[in-house]
């Protein structure tokens, strides 16, 4: 089946009807005689001569005004007839978390290209607009002024003849490299060859795109900046190392192996180290955190939240040999720190949520500010809520029941809430469990054993913890404890947003409840 559309000035988007999670069919898109992209489209049933859709997915086409667009695919005529152009994407709104970013529609995974520029945070992300399952890896794009409330913009990078668009990073071109202006934004990503049909003869390489319009449009450069080192090498993360006057790229190679590469011009890269990190896997990040007593430590971070402290001289990272884990649950993954934040290290993870609402799947975690905390002679990364979240919270008055020191309140406003709790830990109090009841969700911590229960999920977060911060945002529950060293994320079993909240323990030292607006 073939369809041609002459793109006019009124055509902002090419619109596809999506029946999510059906059998997929490849559809090729051409601009003139040139392949624009190949996408795998889930194609469902035709009923009564109509092709119904769970949602509409869009590709921006403004830049092709006056040209002929051709679609080719083995799809029903009714599907092809339903493909059309429009000035906007007309989907009904669905309920979603308030401060956890979720895509308007489709599948989302790793955060990419996180960069702060001229008062705005840019978050690109691994994106499949055409289904609620992984495929068609592209870069979606969202922006925020406060890291809590995000506005999704047009998809910026689509799969091409070099492969799908896998993870990567962003930075401001402050030194005016690549013959581009100093106010341009640069993005490095993995072109994952061999995954789609139009790139079947190619391997994974590291490529670059740039933006001259504050991140709205990304222009791909033809040449790979780093050719294939290992077959599936991916996920470049780049920063400027002032001491040795070079850009540093961290790259996953294979299994538990990573590479550190150096460049003075962002075009020519030299391998300075290949290192193996126990259980380390993909999405590397390397950053420096200050130590309270003076000096700093370098942290090498991997997708599963495993991190390794050590020294970095601009050429080699030498670990202290200890692997630590930042996550107590499996939902957070592939976190990335934001580029161009002077003096702050803020990280955003992807949350591997199971819930699917026939419209979207996947969420981003609440941004966390990293610092170092010393405990029993060891240094750990603390992941505390960002100061922007603290500034947006309003305290709610709570009622304490004198008889048992419990807290109870009723919340009628639909918004994210935050509960900060401090326990008094003694030989007696450690025997009593701590309970939070948030609407219809039950959270229980046993100080004696270290067991935390959220609904049916049970994890061991450590014994004798006294400080807890719980953020409840529709389907998401984020818990930090132990001065931010403990971090766990859960999907709520009940999606209720209003109702009764109670906190039960006779040894409560302090409880504060906030609305996050």
Residue 283 and residue 235 in contact, taking contact as beta carbons nearer than 8 Å:
yes
Listed in sequence order, the residues at least 6 apart from 35 whose beta carbon sits closer than 8 Å to its beta carbon are: 28, 29, 160, 161, 198
* pLDDT value for 98: 95
CA distances to 57, 262, 263, 275, 316 from 244, in Å: 46, 10, 11, 20, 12
Do strands 106-117 and 360-361 pair parallel, antiparallel, or not at all (unpaired)? parallel
Q: Which two tokens stand for residue 74?
A: 């083995």
* pLDDT value for 123: 98
Instruction: Name the pLDDT band for 206 (thresholds 50, 70, 90).
Output: very high
* pLDDT value for 356: 64
pLDDT above 70 as % of the chain: 99
CA distances to 231, 263, 264, 291, 299 from 241, in Å: 28, 10, 10, 19, 14
Distance CA 39, CA 52 (A): 19
Residue with tokens 């859960």: 490
Mean pLDDT of 97-111: 97
Q: Which two tokens stand for residue 207?
A: 């490529």
Distance CA 421, CA 436 (A): 10
The dihedral over CA atoms of 259, 264, 268, 271, expressed in degrees to the nearest 10, equals: -20
Q: Which two tokens stand for residue 190?
A: 């993995």
Q: Which two tokens stand for residue 304?
A: 């599963």
* pLDDT value for 499: 87
Kind and range of the H or E run holding 85: strand 84-86
* pLDDT value for 397: 84
Q: CB 507: neighbour CB atoms within 10 A?
A: 18
Nearest to 393 by CA among 496, 501, 487, 473: 473
Listed in sequence order, the residues at least 6 apart from 352 whose beta carbon sits closer than 8 Å to its beta carbon are: 109, 330, 331, 332, 333, 362
Q: CB 129: neighbour CB atoms within 10 A?
A: 25
* pLDDT value for 402: 63
Residue 357 has pLDDT above 70, yes or no: no
Mean pLDDT of the chain: 95
pTM for the whole structure: 0.96
The dihedral over CA atoms of 259, 260, 263, 264, expressed in degrees to the nearest 10, equals: 170
Distance CA 385, CA 313 (A): 30
Q: Which two tokens stand for residue 57?
A: 């997915």
Give tens-digit pLDDT for 262-289: 999 999 999 999 999 999 999 999 999 9
Phi/psi at 316 (5° precision): -135, 145
Nearest to 381 by CA among 318, 419, 321, 324: 324
Phi/psi at 429 (5° precision): -70, -25
Q: Which two tokens stand for residue 46?
A: 């035709």
What DSSP designation does 358 have? S
Residue 403 has pLDDT above 70, yes or no: no
* pLDDT value for 408: 85
- Domains in the chain, CATH or no CATH each: 2-86 (2.60.120), 106-385 (2.115.10.20), 393-516 (2.60.120.560)
Residue 125 has pLDDT above 70, yes or no: yes
Q: Give the sheet arrangement for strand 150-157, strand by strand.
A: 150-157, 138-144, 120-128, 106-117, 360-361
Give tens-digit pLDDT for 43-65: 998 988 899 999 999 999 999 99
The string of DSSP codes covering 275-296 is EE-TT--SS-EEEEEE-TTSSE
Distance CA 113, CA 48 (A): 45
Nearest to 366 by CA among 195, 514, 516: 516
Distance CA 278, CA 55 (A): 43
Q: Spot the catalytic one: 33, 54, 86, 110.
A: 110
Q: Is 110 a catalytic residue?
A: yes
Residue 311 has pLDDT above 90, yes or no: yes
Residue with tokens 């998401």: 476
Strands (E), 131-203: 138-144, 150-157, 164-172, 185-192
Residue 431 has pLDDT above 80, yes or no: yes
* pLDDT value for 432: 93
3-state secondary structure of 194: coil
Tallying the residues shown for the chain, one arrives at: 517
Kind and range of the H or E run holding 34: strand 34-42
Listed in sequence order, the residues at least 6 apart from 410 whose beta carbon sits closer than 8 Å to its beta carbon are: 499, 500, 501
Kind and range of the H or E run holding 387: helix 387-392
Instruction: Name the pLDDT band for 119 (thresholds 50, 70, 90).
Output: very high
């Amino acid at each position: 089946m073939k369809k041609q559309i002459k793109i006019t000035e009124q055509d902002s988007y090419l619109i596809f009807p999506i029946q999510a999670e059906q059998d997929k069919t490849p559809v090729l898109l051409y601009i003139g005689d040139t392949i624009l992209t190949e996408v795998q489209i889930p194609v469902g049933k035709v009923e009564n001569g109509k092709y119904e859709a769970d949602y509409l997915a869009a590709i921006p086409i403004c830049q092709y005004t006056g040209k002929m667009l051709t679609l080719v695919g083995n799809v029903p005529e009714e599907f092809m007839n339903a493909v059309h152009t429009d000035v906007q994407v007309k989907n009904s709104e669905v309920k979603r978390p308030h401060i956890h970013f979720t895509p308007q529609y489709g599948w989302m995974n790793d955060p990419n290209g996180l960069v702060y520029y001229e008062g705005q945070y840019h978050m690109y992300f691994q994106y499949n607009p055409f289904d609620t399952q992984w495929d068609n890896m592209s870069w979606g794009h969202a922006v925020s002024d406060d890291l809590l409330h995000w506005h999704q913009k047009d998809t910026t990078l689509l799969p091409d003849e070099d492969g799908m668009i896998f993870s990567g990073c962003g930075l401001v071109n402050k030194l005016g490299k690549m013959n581009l202006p100093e106010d341009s934004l640069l993005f490095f990503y993995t072109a994952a060859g061999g995954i789609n049909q139009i790139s079947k003869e190619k391997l994974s390489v590291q490529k670059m795109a740039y933006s001259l319009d504050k991140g709205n449009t990304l222009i791909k450069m033809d040449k790979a900046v780093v050719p294939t080192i290992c077959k599936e090498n991916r996920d470049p993360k780049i920063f400027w190392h002032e001491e040795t006057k070079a850009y540093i790229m961290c790259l996953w190679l294979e299994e538990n192996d990573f590479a550190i590469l150096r460049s003075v011009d962002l075009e020519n890269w030299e391998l300075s180290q290949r290192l193996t990190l126990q259980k380390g896997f993909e999405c590397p990040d390397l950053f420096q955190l200050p130590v309270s007593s003076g000096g700093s430590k370098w942290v090498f971070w991997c997708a599963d939240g495993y991190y390794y402290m050590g020294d970095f001289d601009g050429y080699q990272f030498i670990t202290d040999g200890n692997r630590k884990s930042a996550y107590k649950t499996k939902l957070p993954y592939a976190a990335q720190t934001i580029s161009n934040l002077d003096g702050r290290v803020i990280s955003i993870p992807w949350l591997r949520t199971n819930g699917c609402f026939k419209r979207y799947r996947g969420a981003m975690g609440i941004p966390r500010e990293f610092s170092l905390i010393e405990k029993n002679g060891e240094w750990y990364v603390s992941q505390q809520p960002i100061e922007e979240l603290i500034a947006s919270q309003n305290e709610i008055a709570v009622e304490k029941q004198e008889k048992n020191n419990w807290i109870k309140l009723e919340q009628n406003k639909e918004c994210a809430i935050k509960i900060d709790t401090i326990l008094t830990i003694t030989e007696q109090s450690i025997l009593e469990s701590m309970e939070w009841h948030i609407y219809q969700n039950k959270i229980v911590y046993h100080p004696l054993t270290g067991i935390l229960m959220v609904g049916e999920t049970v994890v061991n977060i450590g014994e004798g913890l006294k400080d807890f911060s719980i953020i409840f945002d529709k389907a998401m529950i984020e818990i930090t404890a132990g001065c931010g060293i403990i971090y766990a994320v859960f999907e709520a079993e009940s999606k209720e947003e209003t109702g009764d909240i109670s906190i039960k323990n006779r040894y409560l030292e302090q409880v504060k409840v906030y609305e996050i607006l």
